[in-house]
């Protein structure tokens, strides 16, 4: 699959200005296929959220020029002096949707995310060279679903030497964040703004998990829940051991319904997995090991 990056360009020249469908919007909004699906309530929340964005940047970066200095998030340039940008609207809407359109809660999440990205040094993680023999088989990006969303595979049994993978928890987290950022590069935030994830647990057993792997999983879950909102369309857990299925159902009542609707726990074997994935992904885009026809990893 080609992983060509899209380049930022101003929607003011790339896309025609059209009036937002919400009559309460007094300004013209640059539109794309994704903003065209915003509801009236979402436009109202976005406008209020956007009005506070310069102050949010000051809170996040604690410097005087933050109100006017452009930043880049997930490949999208956010210029606080010119926020009428369709791709920016799509990015900001993710924080609002993750917090049920609560502007105050979305604001807290956005500020927290910007601070975390600086503290974690996401850019450095993306430029780090990770050992192929340790991480090379743990993550794959292959094909798209029927709506053009990239499909991302996390293969937890891809390396059986867990001491090599999780011996340095912070290195694992840097790799995991860099892999997520690589996946996001395939989202244009014009037609596609979410991905499908397939988590493969083949070869993973209860005894194979140690304290480091548990800590890494816990920290990674916290990072993605707190700082990568609404980037997931669906998540499939495949080749899941029976004990993990039991744990999932145990915690099911604690999982938000909106999140639960995106998750499916699937059994083992290409035929079984294919029945779950083929309605979403064309057979030519799906690896054979998951019931498709593609000669992939």
The per-residue DSSP string of 22-56 comes to: -TT--SEEE--TTGGG--HHHHHHHHHHHHTHHHH
What's the per-residue H, E or C state across 221-284?
Answer: HHHHHHHCCCCEEEEEEECCCHHHHHHHHHHHHHCCHHHHCCEEECCCCHHHHHHHHCCCCCHH
Q: Rounded to 10 degrees, what is the CA torsion of 155, 231, 243, 140?
A: -10
- At residue 59, the 3 state secondary structure works out as helix
Give the distance between the most distant pair of CA atoms in the chain. 60
- Note the pLDDT of residue 254: 66
Which residues belong to CATH 3.40.525.10 in the chain? 128-290
Q: Write out the DSSP string of 144-173.
A: E-TTS-EEEEEETTS-S-HHHHHSSHHHHH
According to DSSP, the residues that pair with 150 across neighbouring strands are: 144
Angle of helix 103-120 relative to helix 40-51, nearest 10 degrees, comes to: 60
Per-residue pLDDT at 132? 97
What's the fold here for domain 128-290? Phosphatidylinositol Transfer Protein Sec14p (3.40.525)
Asked whether 239 and 273 are in contact (CB, 8 A), the reply is yes
The pLDDT, as a whole number, for residue 136 is 96
- What's the pLDDT score for residue 172? 97
pLDDT at residue 27 in the model = 57
Q: Over its length of 297 residues, how does the chain's per-residue pLDDT go in tens digits?
A: 333 333 333 333 334 444 444 434 445 899 999 999 999 999 999 999 999 999 999 999 998 899 999 999 999 999 999 999 999 999 999 999 999 999 999 999 999 999 999 999 999 999 999 999 999 999 999 999 999 999 999 999 888 888 899 999 999 999 999 999 999 999 999 999 999 999 999 988 766 678 898 899 999 999 999 999 999 999 999 998 877 777 677 666 767 778 788 999 998 999 999 999 999 999 999 999 999 999 999
Alpha-carbon distance values, 95 to 52, 79, 109, 113, 155 (Å): 13, 17, 7, 10, 28
């Amino acid at each position: 699959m080609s992983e060509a990056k899209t380049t930022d360009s101003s929607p003011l020249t790339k896309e025609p200005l059209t009036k937002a469908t919400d009559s309460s919007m007094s300004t013209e909004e640059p539109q794309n296929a994704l903003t065209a699906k915003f509801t009236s309530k979402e436009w109202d929340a976005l406008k209020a959220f956007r009005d506070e964005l310069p102050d949010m940047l000051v809170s996040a970066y604690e410097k005087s020029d933050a109100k006017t200095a452009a930043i880049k998030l997930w490949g999208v340039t956010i210029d606080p002096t010119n926020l009428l940008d369709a791709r920016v609207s799509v990015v900001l809407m993710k924080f609002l949707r993750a917090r049920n359109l609560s502007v105050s809660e979305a604001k807290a999440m956005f500020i927290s995310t910007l601070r975390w990205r600086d503290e974690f040094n996401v850019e450095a993680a993306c430029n780090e060279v990770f050992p192929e023999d340790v991480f090379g088989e743990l993550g794959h990006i292959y094909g798209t679903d029927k709506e053009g969303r990239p499909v991302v595979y996390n293969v937890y049994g891809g390396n059986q030497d867990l001491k090599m993978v999780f011996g340095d928890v912070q290195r694992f987290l840097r790799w995991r964040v860099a892999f997520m950022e690589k996946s996001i590069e395939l989202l244009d935030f014009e037609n596609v703004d979410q991905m499908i994830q397939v988590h493969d647990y083949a070869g993973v057993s209860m005894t194979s998990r140690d304290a480091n792997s548990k800590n890494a999983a816990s920290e990674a879950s916290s990072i993605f829940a707190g700082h990568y909102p609404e980037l997931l369309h669906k998540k499939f857990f495949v080749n899941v051991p029976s004990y993990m299925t039991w744990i999932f159902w145990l915690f099911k009542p604690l999982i938000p319904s909106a999140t639960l609707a995106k998750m499916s726990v699937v059994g083992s074997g290409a035929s079984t997995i294919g029945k779950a994935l083929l309605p979403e992904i064309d057979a030519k885009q799906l690896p054979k090991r998951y019931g498709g026809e593609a000669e992939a990893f």
